[in-house]
Structure 1
């Protein structure tokens, strides 16, 4: 079965087995929620925040509230930070964290495959974001009028990325945290 990030709304029911017994609203008080898992969830919060910040910065630039040089500086800083952090984070998940979870509970292999498939789509989106952002930054010096034109499609990509991240990170947490809590992992 294929699970398309663009059409699914939450985890498929067959992947919510442990989530039904360990719902999100009880995670923070659960004795099995250790510092490593809290840090992992904190990284997700940071990705959401940085994506929203990039979107808002682009909107302020398009609305002529932020000068081109300041926008280019912020786009470069926060865009680079988001792209590098996301690549590092999901590479670690695919190579280390997800195999650990699958070994602990093989029932979740399909869910972990779904998340790894999301990471392929995420890589493609991050590559597009990088190309577009680099172009917008270069145009700040080369052709400021065209910079504004190119910022529109960049905004579309950032909007798609923030929507993707919200869906993916929520799915990831809803699948992973109950496994960690149930099996008392990452302690």
Structure 2
């Protein structure tokens, strides 16, 4: 069993959606200030969601017998590594560059930032647990496939948690950040 950190399941407080009414999600693509850098940031979020989906469904396919060890192991290795590395790099960029810029542009961002930073810490712990159980599963797939099934069940549970976490966190992050970018015409 992986000791996953509890993650936030409640939405951001409504007062943190202070600019979302002026810049609703369905208008972002048409806004002239929805620039390439913002599109790329959201595309990275889409990639994280896709990778988490591939990790969850890959484990399901293995557990259902649709994948054997030789077809499943490379998927787990590549997609798991890509997700963990990309999320860590993405959060580093946000913490060191992107979020300070938003905070300087609009002080109201800081309250939401505290929630997002707590999410990042919880996700780091969850990714660490996922990495450990995935590495054990990969070893067992080589050494003792019968024992690997239990470990891959834990991989699946971890992927489910990561997928749910990313759905909550990334949606909230986008709803908080993009309206500030549009309102203050940032990232140009």
Deviating above 2 A after TM superposition, structure 1's stretches of 4 or more consecutive aligned residues are: 4-7
* Distance in 2 (alpha carbons) for counterparts of 1:91 and 1:60: 33
Normalising by structure 1, what TM-score? 0.96
Partner of 2:24: 23
Partner of 2:3: none
CA offset digits 1:26-76 (Å, max 9, x no partner): 000001100000000000000001110111100000001100121111100
Matches within 5 A, 1:1-40: 5-8=7-10, 10-40=11-41
Structure 1: stretches of 5+ with no match in the other structure:
none
Tell me how far 1:157 sits from its aligned partner. 0.7
CA offset digits 1:91-150 (Å, max 9, x no partner): 110111000000000011010111111000010010011001000000011111000111
Structure 2: stretches of 5+ with no match in the other structure:
1-5
Partner of 2:167: 166
Partner of 2:55: 54
* Distance in 1 (alpha carbons) for counterparts of 2:93 and 2:70: 35
* Distance in 1 (alpha carbons) for counterparts of 2:79 and 2:154: 18
Q: Matched residue pairs, number?
A: 183
Q: Contact 1:11–1:174 (CA<8 Å) still a contact in 2?
A: no
Q: CA RMSD in A?
A: 1.0
Q: Contact 1:5–1:118 (CA<8 Å) still a contact in 2?
A: yes
Matches within 5 A, 1:31-180: 31-180=32-181
Tell me how far 1:6 sits from its aligned partner. 2.7
* Distance in 2 (alpha carbons) for counterparts of 1:140 and 1:151: 9
Task: Specify the SS of the correspondent of 2:30.
Answer: coil
Q: Contact 2:9–2:168 (CA<8 Å) still a contact in 1?
A: no
Q: Contact 1:5–1:168 (CA<8 Å) still a contact in 2?
A: no
Normalising by structure 2, what TM-score? 0.95
